[in-house]
Amino acid sequence: MTAFDTSTASDTLPVTQRTQIKRQPQRGNYDRALIHQILDEALICYVGFVVDAQPFVIPTAYGRVGDQLYIHGSPASRMLRTLKEQVAVCVTVTLLDGLVLARSAFHHSMNYRSVVVFGNATVVDDPTEKLMALQAFTEHVMPDRWAAVRPPTPQELAGTLVLALPLQEASAKVRTGPPKDDADDYALPVWAGELPLRLTPLSPIPDPQLPSSIEVPTHVQHYGRPSIGVAK
Amino acid sequence: MTAFDTSTASDTLPVTQRTQIKRQPQRGNYDRALIHQILDEALICYVGFVVDAQPFVIPTAYGRVGDQLYIHGSPASRMLRTLKEQVAVCVTVTLLDGLVLARSAFHHSMNYRSVVVFGNATVVDDPTEKLMALQAFTEHVMPDRWAAVRPPTPQELAGTLVLALPLQEASAKVRTGPPKDDADDYALPVWAGELPLRLTPLSPIPDPQLPSSIEVPTHVQHYGRPSIGVAK
């Protein structure tokens, strides 16, 4: 992707004590490409960190370039002030692909793709990498948006704290397919199957201050998430 | 709702050191009804806990009855084994309502409704409350489903660990509306506004083993999340 993209194709991350999937291990996956795809499709990550033995879980936007996950915000934020001290962090994303409707209450489930990343974040000081991370945030949320908008000023860049978390210790967990009912329950007259769910856009709402002469651009009008690897 | 519903209407949760919204405090909200609505609309919560100073963030399903949030799973799960020791927990949910597209990269944002809950979970031993919690899980994901499926057997109940987290120390954070651009940027010829996003169902996929004589029930065919308080 860029000079900062240090990933190598089609390989697998090492399994560590923290990333080993213990519950439903058949759903675990350490494939680097799959982990990247899930991170690229999701829009919000949940950042877990500890302050005085108290866990905090904060939802935030992010971007990915190669083997780096970037998060950003105000230098005054408690989350970023904590994380930049290189404390242990856990970042989790989940794509909810559907509801799994079984014949018994007990076997109801969800189809999902999730990623959990462990590590320690570091501050991005290099201005080139910082600008690239900000571009990655914008393009992650909406491809083709970066080129259409005013880029950050030096003051805006200076007022944004960017942290990088290496994608070295991470796992994916995936469930797909129909419910798994108990043998005896298949005879019950209960509808069973999957109800797929998708995050879909509604009609764009123009800013009240937008001149009516400015038309909705293609990158907004035809917006959609990539949905890689999901049954359509 | 039931004998376990101890909530009182239209009041506000106390602000604590943990729940005080410091960044963008105008987005903070401690209204109990709003917190309940957000929890009822979201489908997955992110449970944060600490093991040996390492934070973990695990996505899971949940249910709410009154002022109690219930999570459940196998007694063998690391998350539940940890939480039942009444360690500090942080549970976070987010509803992503839309993308906020500004004229500058810097002012891009998201419209969202999130809830963060702090507390200590306890094991639900009372069989009546446990069954009610399991009903709440199913009805939270899909209203009217519980009555349509086989209820849990005593063995299934015994094999499920249910934990309750009181909704006493919690906050909501909400962003709505158009982007807020810098004054000079409003003259730029850039489309700006909101792109609303919704989690929407696709067509149900019958279990391959389902007899074709069993029709899709109304609670599946007309499924939708409540979307309380969101611009349609």
Question: Strand (E) positions, B4-44?
Answer: 28-29
Nearest to B56 among A90, A194, A216 (CB): A90
pLDDT at A72 over 80: yes
pLDDT of A141 > 90? The answer is yes
What is the b/e burial string over B1-16, where b = at least 16 CB atoms within 10 angstroms of the residue's CB? eeebeebeeeeebeee
pLDDT, average across residues A179-194: 98
CB pairs under 8 A between A and B: 280
The span from the CA of B104 to the CA of B191, in Å, is 10
Please judge whether B138 and A105 are an interchain contact, meaning their C-beta atoms are less than 8 angstroms apart.
yes
Give dist(CA B89, CA B169) in Å, integer: 11
Q: Confidence class of residue A131 from pLDDT cuts 50, 70 and 90?
A: very high
Helix or strand run (H / E) with residue B60:
strand B54-60
Question: Per-residue pLDDT averaged across B166-170, rounded?
Answer: 96
CB B170 within 8 A of CB B116: yes
Contact B214 A185 (CB under 8 A): no
Enter the tokens of residue B157.
């109940």
Tell me the pLDDT tens digit for each residue of B109-150: 999 999 999 999 999 999 999 999 999 999 999 999 999 999
For residue B24 the two structure tokens come to 């963008």
pLDDT (0 to 100) of residue A110: 97
Which CATH code is given to the segment(s) B25-197? Answer: 2.30.110.10
Compare all CA atoms of chain B with the CA of A74 and give the residue at the minimum distance.
Answer: B23
The CA distances from residue A179 to A12, A212, B79, B209, in Å, are 29, 50, 24, 10
Nearest alpha carbon to residue A84 among A142, A125, A112? A125
pLDDT at B220: 97
CB contact under 8 A, B92 and A207: no
pLDDT (mean) for B11-37: 91
Which range among A17-21, A189-193, B149-153 shows the weakest confidence by mean pLDDT? A17-21
Q: Report the alpha-carbon distance of residue B222 to residue B217 in Å, rounded.
A: 9
Query: What mean pLDDT comes out for the span B59-77?
Result: 93
pLDDT in tens, A189-208: 999 999 999 999 999 999 99
Residue A23 confidence class, pLDDT cut points 50, 70, 90:
confident
Hey, are the CB atoms on A23 and B186 less than 8 Å from each other? Answer: no
- Is residue A59 scored above 60 in pLDDT? yes
Judged by DSSP in three states, A180 sits in coil
Distance CA A70, CA A93 (A): 14
pLDDT at A3 over 90: no
| Predicted pLDDT of residue B24 | 86
Residues of B in contact with A196 (CB under 8 A): 201-203, 205
- The predicted pLDDT at position B42 comes to 98
Topology of A25-221 in CATH? Answer: Pnp Oxidase; Chain A (2.30.110)
Residue A228's pLDDT is 54
